[in-house]
Every structure is written in structure tokens, then in C-alpha cells.
Chain A
Amino acid sequence: MNRVGIEPRAVTRWLILGVIGLLMALPIVAMVEFSLRGAPGEYTLDHWTGILDPENERKYRGLFEGVGNSLLLAVVTVLIVNAMLVPTMVLVALRFPKLQRWLEFVCLIPITVPAIVLVVGLAPVYGVVSRIFGSSIWTLAFAYGITVLPYAYRAVRAAMDAVDIVTLSEAARSLGAGWLTVFFRVLVPNIRRGMLAASVIATAVVLGEFTIASLLNRENLQTSVLLISRSDPYVATIFALLALLFAFALLVIIGRVGAVQPRRSSS
């Protein structure tokens, strides 16, 4: 077979994918197996059904609190992204194109400043924050808004690059629309896929966040799962599996959103 193409033979392709795929599947299979372990040599669903058993309510209360906290943090972080980052990006694109590079630079800084470094400086900042807003869990979203900045910026930027928002807003303005109308009725509908993608990524990152919560002594999904793993490793493993499944579902949603985008915008 004398092929011109650069693609691998079918045998090579499936050998590579098969071997690496099998190795990658092993830890997940091990987690499923572990969560089903009962008495030595026996398998049971007890650990799964036990989660919702009212008898265990006290035992797992902290765990569900952690889940609740993480969901709340995800909502507030998504709000920060959509109500603060997106309007700023639009404003810069329309009125201050020269600041575009600066905005991009700032939004990508958190890639270089890892959470473990940021948290060193966040500790004193949160000392002040809790004096102003109290020490309730949602304030942690201010820090999470920073950690999701690079992902959110890229998602929204990709959507903004796909439409000519300057021309769109000028057209709307010349037809007599006010700035608020331009923003909510002209621009947002055009970039809402980017906003949705940014929100989904922000949610995924917040649900997986451990470093900042742990070192600022806050309780979220990850810290409470680590805590319960010391007394009940089975439930911790089950929650890890569920989180994995949830993240996969979110990513599939992003994939669908991304796949639909070009067809819609060309019609």
C-alpha cells in the first residue's frame, strides 16, 4: 500500500489508542470496583444506596454542605464572569481598542500565577474581605473569578471575534438604539454562545477547585470529599466518580455548543 497521506495505518492507530486508552481507563475501573467492595471477596451496592439513607444523614451532612457551597460558588463566579468581565470586554472592544492588548495580558496572568502562589497573598486580602462582607462562603467566588479569568476570556473572545461587534453596534446606534439596548438586544445575543461556554468552563473549574478553599480553611466540594475520605473512603470515591461524570456531561455540552455555532451564524 503506497499512500501519499500522512495518516497512520489502521493497525497503528488502533494499537496506540487501544493501549493508551486501556491504561487511562484503569484508574476509573478501579474506582468503580472499589466503590462496590463489601465483605472480603464480595460486591455490594450498599455504599451507593447508603448515601441517601436518612440514617447516614448526620455522617454525610458536611459532604452535602460542601456540594451546596461549591454550587453556590459556581453561580456567583458565573455572575462575576458575565456581569463584570463580559461588559468590560465589550466596552474595550468598542471604545478603547488600544487597551485590548492590556486586557488580554491581564486576563492571562493567572496562568503564570498558580493558585498555590496566589493563595499566599489572598490570605491577608481575605482578612479584610471578611471584615466587610462577613466570612460567608460566597466571598470565595471573588478569588475563583480570577482563577477562571483565562478560560472565560478565551471563550468570550472567540465568540466576539466571530462577529463584527463594532459595525453591529454602530448600525444599532444609527437606528436610534441606546447603549443598553445595543448591549442587551444586539451584542449579547451575538456572543451568548461564548458566554455560555465561559459559564460552563467556570462551573467546571470551580467544582474542581481545592487549593484556595483548603488553604483559606473554607469548605467546598473538594475539601469536604477529602475530609470524609479519612472516615469513609467508599463515599469519597463515589463522589469523585459522580463529579467526573458531571464534568464529562458539562464538557459534552460545550462540545455541542461549539459544534452548533458555525452552522447557525452562517444561516
Chain B
Amino acid sequence: MTARRSGGRGWALLGLTPFSAYVVLFLAVPTVLALGTGLFDGDGALTLDNLTGLLEPAVLRSFVDLLWLSGLTAVLGAIAGALICFSLLGTREDGWLRTGISAASGVLAQFGGVMLAFAFIALIGIQGLLTQWLLRTFDADIYEGGVWLYQVPGLILPYLYFQIPLMVITFMPAMSGLKPQWAEASATLGGTGAVFWWRIGFPVLAPSFLGSLLLLFANAFSSYGTAAALVSQGAPIVPLQVRAALISETVLGRENMAGALAIGMIVVMVVLMKAYSALQSRAERWMR
């Protein structure tokens, strides 16, 4: 296969150098630096001081809050997204409904970041459209117990706003992969709709569903822009801790704390992505 008449192998290898050099300089070096600095102190001596900094109450709290925020929005987003996929079963794949929803999902899944913060301030900010409408019409104040939009609970709705479309994008292929023949076979043997879903549909879709759920989790876990624009005080979730560490150089009296936080995040991400690819290869058995 690889033996060619001309163009020496040496020259071909040379052709790989620009991309290799690029990836080393801008992916490998930054990643190693980000993780490596967490193991050194300001004078370049090896230390575990930064890593133990991860156990400080404030930092630990930011991990816990980020984990439940990611988990909650991943589960709710996955359920809502899967419902949309289910409702699209039986519609034409090239019809306006499917193409419209998939284009809109593509946009909204990317619509994270700063812009999303404005959208929710306009909707449920103190002067927001919905806040004021509820106040006028029902005399209901959503901020009776304090303004929660600019704290961690305020991130739930904005995060859901990009989680649901992402679920639609990632889960739709699996949902469309359900073969009508399976339903026919089940019906021929006397199975009802409920039996089909319980015995065939859910078990076949389970690995894809869990895989997509993990992807959503990872997505919320690594998201930064929305929180940076919305959260005004403190650093209640890890990415904002990273920002604080980068800006002030020393957090909790430790240098290179950003590196330690990076290690913490990467550990979670690697576990998530490993589990994702394991589930994905299980799911693909049914997608042929």
C-alpha cells in the first residue's frame, strides 16, 4: 500500500513537520505547561503544595458546585433533548422541520459564552421581560429571596439553554437508528408500544443516551464564558477560580495555583471522555 514510485519517504516525512511542530508548540507545550506548573512552586522546586490547595474549602466547594451544576444541567438537558429527538421520529429527514431544528440546535449549542448572559439578563434580570411580567400580572417576585441570577443557581437556566440543543445534535443519530423492523417484529410477536420501548427501545438507546449525557456533562464542566459574564462576585465554580488564579498570580498564598486547578479539571475530563468513548463503541453495535 505504502510503496510509491516516487517522492522519497524522507521528503514525505518532511511534509509532516509543519503540522507536527504546530501541534507540539500550541497544544502539547501549553497542556504540559498548564499541568506541569501545578507541581512546582514559584522558585521552580517540585512541590505538592498547589495540589493540596485543591483541598482548601473554597476550592473544594467550587469543584462540588461545578459538579452538581454540570450534573443537573446534563440530566435535565439530556431528557429534554431526547424528548425532542423522540418527537422528530417519523418526520422526513430532509423535511423543513428536521433541517430547521438541526440548524437551530447547531447555532444554540454554540451560543454559549457572553451572549447567553445578556439573553438571560434581558429575560430574568431584575428589569427582565419575564421578571417584570410575572410581577405585574401575578404579583410574583422571582427574586423575593434575593437575586440568584448572578450566582451559581443563576447558571442553571443559561447552561440548559446550550445543553438541550447539544443533546439534540448528539442523540438524534442514535434515535434515527431505531429500525422500524424492530417495532414490526415486536408487534408481530404481540408486543405493545410500551413493550417495544421497555424491552427494545430503551436498552438499545441506553449506551448512546448515557454517552451523550457524559458529553453534556463535560460541556458544562468546561464552559467558561457565560459564568464569567454573569457571575459578578467571587469565584464559585472552578473555571472562575482559574481566572482568579491567573489574574492575581497568587491565590491562597500559593503560586501556580492555576496549574493545580488545571490538573483537577483534566482528571475529571479524562475520566468523562474515557467513559464516553467506551459507551460510544458499545452504542455503535446497533448503528450499522
Which residues in A have some Cβ–Cβ distance to B below 8 Å? 3-8, 12-14, 16-17, 20, 24, 26-31, 33-34, 80, 84-85, 87-88, 91-92, 94-97, 99, 106, 109-125, 142-143, 145-146, 149, 166, 173, 179, 204-205, 208, 210-211, 214-215, 222, 225-226, 229, 233, 236-237, 240, 243-244, 247-248, 251-252, 254-255, 259
Contact = CB atoms under 8 A, between A and B. Distances in A.
Could you tell me the dominant secondary structure of chain A's interface residues? helix
A27 B119 contact: yes
A14 B86 CA distance: 11
B118 A210 contact: no
Interface stretch (B39-47, B51-59, B139-147, B220-228): B220-228
Contacts, number: 244
6 contacts: A115-B222, A116-B222, A149-B27, A173-B4, A204-B110, A240-B114
Query: Top 8 A-B pairs ranked by shortest CB distance?
Result: A7-B90, A114-B222, A121-B30, A121-B34, A121-B33, A30-B123, A34-B122, A27-B119
Given A31-B118, A91-B12, A125-B30, A24 B265 contact: no
Contacts of A119: 30, 34, 242, 246
A210 B113 contact: yes
Contacts of B119: 27-28, 30-31, 240
Contacts of A3: 193
Contacts of B254: none
B253 interface: no
B122 A208 contact: no
Contact of A24 (B25, B108, B239): B108
B154 to A, nearest CB: 13
Interface residues of B, number: 90
Contact of B33 (A31, A87, A120, A233): A120
A118 B94 CA distance: 39
A123 B114 contact: no
Given A84-B22, A117-B34, A120-B34, A251 B224 contact: no
B27 A109 contact: yes
Contacts of B4: 94-95, 173
A99 B15 CA distance: 13
A88 B111 contact: no
Given A31-B118, A91-B15, A143-B26, A8 B32 contact: no
A116 B130 contact: no
Contacts of A243: 115
